[in-house]
């Protein structure tokens, strides 16, 4: 059974960098995409971006200037860095596994099958 576990500091000061790790157990980093998602208190889910096992990335334009995602195949981990944080970055942060585009019989889809349980990060001085 694949298990994803997010980890990192629960408290980050404004203007500093938020750093999170998603550790994958029971499965491999390849050949998947790894998404980061967040949910501010009382608000909806927001996609942050993904990193492919090869290291290529794609980010939400709303966060692109502040986000870096990466993979460490040797540790079976995916990482997220978000710099210059403000209180608006307070949220539960999730990672999720993504199979990428899959097509059969002329129809395509993209399945995200496993998520972590999330980690709450509070931005406060």
Partner 1 sequence: DIQMTQSPSSLSASVGDRVTIICRASESIANYLNWYQHKPGQAPQLLIYAASSLQSGVPSRFSGTRSGTEFTLTISSLQPEDFATYFCLQSYGPPWTFGQGTKVEVK
Residue 24 Cβ, how far from partner 1 at the closest point, in Å? 13
Closer residue to partner 1, CB minimum distance, 16 or 47:
47
Output 16 or 60, the one with its CB closest to partner 1: 60
Nearest distance, CB of residue 91 and partner 1, angstroms: 13
Q: Which of residues 94-123 bind partner 1 (CB under 8 A)?
A: 94, 96, 98, 107-118
Q: Which long-range contacts (CB under 8 A, 24 or more apart) does 29-34 make?
A: 29/53, 29/71, 29/73, 29/76, 29/77, 29/78, 30/73, 31/100, 32/97, 32/98, 32/99, 32/100, 33/97, 33/98, 33/99, 33/100, 34/69, 34/71, 34/78, 34/95, 34/96, 34/97, 34/98
Q: Annotate each residue in 36-65 with x if it binds partner 1 (CB under 8 A) or - if it does not, as one string.
A: -x------xxxx----------x-xxx---
């Amino acid at each position: 059974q694949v298990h994803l576990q997010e980890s990192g500091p629960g408290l980050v000061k404004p203007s500093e960098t938020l750093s999170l790790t998603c550790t994958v157990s029971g499965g491999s980093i390849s050949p998947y995409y790894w998404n980061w998602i967040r949910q501010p208190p009382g608000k909806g889910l927001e996609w942050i971006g993904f990193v492919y096992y090869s290291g290529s990335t794609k980010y939400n334009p709303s966060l692109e200037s502040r986000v870096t995602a990466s993979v460490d195949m040797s540790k079976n981990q995916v990482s997220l860095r978000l710099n210059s944080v403000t209180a608006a970055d307070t949220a539960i942060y999730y990672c999720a596994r993504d199979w990428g585009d899959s097509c059969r019989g002329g129809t395509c889809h993209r399945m995200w099958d496993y998520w972590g349980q999330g980690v709450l990060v509070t931005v406060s001085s």
